[in-house]
Chain A
Amino acid sequence: MGLGKDIAGLFRKREGAPEAPAEAPKAEAKERSAAEVGRERVKAIKEGASSLWDSFKKRAGSVRDTIANKAKDAYSMALGVAKKGGKMAIEGAFSAVGGIEMGAKATVEGGKAAIEYTKETGREAMELGELALEATKSAATRTKEAAVGAGLTGAALAIMTAEGGVAIAKAMKERGVELKSEAGKKLVGGLAELQKMGVSAVEATKKYGADKIEQAVKVAKEAKDAGVDLAKRGGGFALESLVAAVAAGISVAEAIEGAAGATLEKGQEIVGAAQEKMSTLFKRAREAKDNFFGRLTSARDRFSSRLKQAVIESLRPEIDNLIKAKAEELLRDREALNDPEITFEEEDEDNEATVVVEAVNS
């Protein structure tokens, strides 16, 4: 720790510099803070961009929920008509559907708040080499390892190792469901069945979790037996509406017939079109964010190149060799990062690039 201090002390002795006048430290402090301010500005700008992106994602999620809930309101109303055969029992059906939705959202299974999982990851206790090894693995690899480690086989293992596996793991983590637990295995088993019937496994994880997955699978099977192709009828939205209808005491057949069925279909069309537009906007927002970081990092590279020049010019012979070697190595590594061939990982709507899979792997 004292190396830099000792070297600085040696410089002062060698140069025989007189004691600095009283004003000098103040001036130096002022200069230093001006330089710091520039770097802090960049830091604040970068943080601002990250938080802008986070807010956008939240807002996009909220818009999607609002749209879906509004569509369900319309369907509930139609269900009320269908169920009561001429009486406007809107409120009853509406509250039943709303209740299911709210319950699903509020549930974090296993009695653990999702946040607790971050404390259980064990990453803090890992040796640096071990942590680096983890970091070399893609989210998909870590998800696959967690799925195999949890003893999943067959269709359940297949969906966790397929393209959407990472997003499913993330959704499970958000709901506090451990992959290796009985609840986790039950959930993944149900997801595999739903996926075969045209329902998104990620969406189903978010909506039903482990405690409602069996009910969802049962309704999906009933719908299939009744001749409803969920894949063609909006997948998750259709299933969710049917699950809610069944919970309100309405049969699947009744829920898809007549006025209710027509409303469900029209609602799916409207929601589907809106979701498509939202996906386009999400992609545009992601591109805007990526472009920002692209521009920022290009500016940083230019800055770094000038920093390197300033360092080279300052590497006087009297500077300690260890310090010199360290600075040179840091500069070499920094320059290596200017490689234009870096393969970036993209964030999508369901999967923010990676998932902390060790949460369910620990």
Chain B
Amino acid sequence: MTREQIVKLVENSQLDDGMKRELLNLIIDKGITREVIDQIKEAFDNAVISTMKAGGVDITQTEEFKAAAAEFAAAAETAKAQLDSEMAQIESEMGQVQKDTAKQLDDLQAQVIKDKISQ
């Protein structure tokens, strides 16, 4: 699916105009990223639920929905825990890079001073 196809899908969809504008602005601001696509999918899921509700059927009350929603939330939590762990590791390595580099630069400064003193 190309960027243009995604934009057209949103534009010509049954989403309300406010939501369309929100999603189109998101595409302009962030491009077609995984995050943006997820946001678009969420908008459609929510629109399906609210449309059904407007038709007198509250899908969220079905056992199938409750089970699916619980499974989804659990998967999201697992994915977030993995992200947290990976980012913590990267942050830690970044801290080490900063520390090591600062040490090298301190040594460089110290060398400048030593050179000056020995002159």
Chain A residues in the interface with B (C-beta under 8 A): 3-4, 7-8, 11, 28, 31-32, 34-36, 38-39, 41-42, 45-46, 48-50, 52, 56, 59-60, 63, 66-67, 70-71, 73-74, 77-78, 81, 86, 88, 123, 128-129, 131-132, 134-136, 138-139, 259, 263, 266-267, 270-271, 273-274, 277-278, 281, 284-285, 288-304, 306-311, 313-314, 316, 319-320, 323-324, 326-327, 329-331, 333-334, 336-337, 339, 341-347, 352-354, 356
The answer to whether A300 touches B38 (Cβ under 8 A) is yes
Number of B interface residues, CB 8 Å?
89
The answer to whether B84 touches A52 (Cβ under 8 A) is yes
Contacts of A293 in B (CB 8 A): 33-35, 37-38
B101 CB, min distance to chain A CBs, angstroms: 4
Contacts of A292 in B (CB 8 A): 79-80, 82-83
A77–B82 alpha-carbon span in the complex (Å):
45
The answer to whether B55 touches A323 (Cβ under 8 A) is yes
| Given A128-B17, A289-B83, A296 and B98 contact (CB-CB distance below 8 Å) | no
Starting from the known contacts A70-B106, A74-B109, A344-B33, 10 additional A-B residue pairs (CB-CB under 8 Å) come to A45-B73, A73-B105, A81-B112, A129-B11, A293-B35, A302-B75, A304-B44, A337-B40, A342-B1, A356-B29
Chain B residue with minimal CB distance to A133? B7
The answer to whether A324 touches B55 (Cβ under 8 A) is yes
The answer to whether A307 touches B65 (Cβ under 8 A) is yes
The answer to whether B56 touches A41 (Cβ under 8 A) is no
A319–B54 alpha-carbon span in the complex (Å):
10
The answer to whether B56 touches A343 (Cβ under 8 A) is no
B118 CB, min distance to chain A CBs, angstroms: 11
A275–B28 alpha-carbon span in the complex (Å):
30
A67–B119 alpha-carbon span in the complex (Å):
28
The answer to whether A86 touches B34 (Cβ under 8 A) is no
A328 CB, min distance to chain B CBs, angstroms: 9
